[in-house]
Homo-oligomer: A and B are copies of this chain.
């Protein structure tokens, strides 16, 4: 079950709630600047926002996890090196261009880090770079260097919201989640997922805390939290070349209860991951799949992913169509191809608490069908309607509610369980990724 069941009636309502979550932990400041530039590869100017997250004092306690894509972006290549450095003092993030496989990309990222470091009085290796946007284009390094002083000048403590807004591109709304742990706080922001702008998917997540947790512990806890949150979501099965999750502690507050910190971190990651899905490209239904009593954790995760990545089932959900055949097809597809020895004889499946499959056969009748349709309609975020030119766009820029399509798959053949989040496959997704060709 969800930790929260928020509803929002307007953008203002949602923003007020975000502001209530956004207090920065001690020891951090954030700043942003926005400017026009001329891409080398395109015929018209574009806009870029720089977001700077700075620590009052460089910290040894930081962690980061990056994409597994075999063509990682230059900032990911640089970021992996930063994990071996003694301290981190700042994170510099740009949107619009992801700096992936562009000639001279690593040098461009290092140059921006060096200039950021110079302005902040840090060693260049104490700055972590992030980029998101078009794959293939090169960063406008001169424009960024020119813009950096304004970002530094805007640095302010108080709220993480400017950074949460600075890193988004075509996200419908910023994403902030936080939790208090003892005398300290954990605050996370995220952008993505699916496609951020109509050129490339990127998920960037920054989690800030003032609770003092040593580097190695922080890294172990981040791995654990990410594996059961961000690694259990999928909008469209496409893996960004830039995915990054960073966790930084200012160590301003002693951490007296590591178990509470771990639980708080897990909660922030899980809620942010769910936010990313809810604001995913064209998502009109969030699908929560709970796989229970599986023989192994990897099987439980893989079955959940197989369901939320099955295009036909995703389309059915988009149409409020309880097409249970497509759900069973998705399970059978995965098991047949990747785990043929799996025992499916005791599999039970339900949607919205309504049993639809047991003892190797469907359990269907017209009354259940009506109840399933009602469950799907109740989880819909907004109605779908094209504009006059046939382009579909979401009519809301806030999450109206946090209800999900609830799917439970019980294998009754072990003790492993996993919860996976995904979205439906909608006209809004296709419009965002095919119709906006400039």
Contact = CB atoms under 8 A, between A and B. Distances in A.
Interface string A46-85: 0000000000000000000001111110000000000000
Contacts of A435: 319
Interface in A101-152: 101-103, 134-136
A361 B434 contact: no
A238 interface: yes
Contacts of A69: 329, 332-333, 336
The interface residues of chain A, by DSSP majority, are classed as loop
A329 B136 contact: no
A107 to B, nearest CB: 12
A315 B437 CA distance: 11
A21 interface: no
Given A71-B329, A332-B69, A310 B426 contact: no
B365 A310 contact: no
A319 B434 contact: yes
A325 interface: yes
A319 B436 CA distance: 8
A206 interface: no
A427 B429 contact: no
A333 B201 CA distance: 12
Interface stretch (A177-185, A254-262, A270-278, A337-345): A337-345
A326 interface: yes
B434 A315 contact: yes
A316 interface: yes
A311 interface: yes
B70 A239 contact: no
A195 interface: yes
Contact of A311 (B238, B318, B384): B238
A437 B373 CA distance: 11
B336 A70 contact: yes
A251 to B, nearest CB: 33
Interface of A: 41-43, 67-72, 98, 100-103, 134-136, 195, 198-201, 236-241, 309-312, 315-316, 318-321, 323-326, 328-337, 340, 342, 344, 357, 360-362, 364-366, 384-386, 390, 392, 424-427, 429-431, 433-437
22 contacts: A70-B332, A70-B335, A70-B336, A70-B344, A71-B328, A71-B331, A71-B332, A100-B328, A101-B361, A103-B362, A136-B324, A136-B328, A136-B362, A195-B312, A200-B323, A238-B330, A239-B329, A241-B329, A319-B437, A390-B427, A426-B430, A427-B430
Closest CB pairs A-B (n = 7)? A135-B325, A319-B434, A71-B332, A315-B433, A70-B335, A239-B333, A69-B332
